[in-house]
Amino acid sequence: TAVAPIVSQEGMAITEPAAPTKTGFTFGGWFTDVALTNKFTFITTPPRDLTLYAKWLTDQEAVQQTINEILLGIQNGDFLNLPVSNLSSPEMIAAIDRRVLLLETKYGVNISIINGTRSGSSYTFTFQVTKSTVTSTLQNVVATFRKV
pLDDT at 137: 92
- Prediction pTM value: 0.69
pLDDT at 65: 86
Name the 3-class secondary structure at 82: strand
pLDDT at 141: 93
Q: Is the dihedral of CA 109, 78, 126, 66 positive or negative?
A: positive
* Contact between residue 130 and residue 112 where contact means Cβ atoms under 8 Å apart: yes
For 95-101, the CB contacts below 8 A with 24+ separation are 95/143, 95/145, 96/123, 96/125, 96/143, 99/143, 100/127
* pLDDT beneath 50: ranges in the chain: none
pLDDT at 94: 93
pLDDT at 47: 86
How many Cβ atoms sit within 10 Å of the Cβ of residue 81? 11
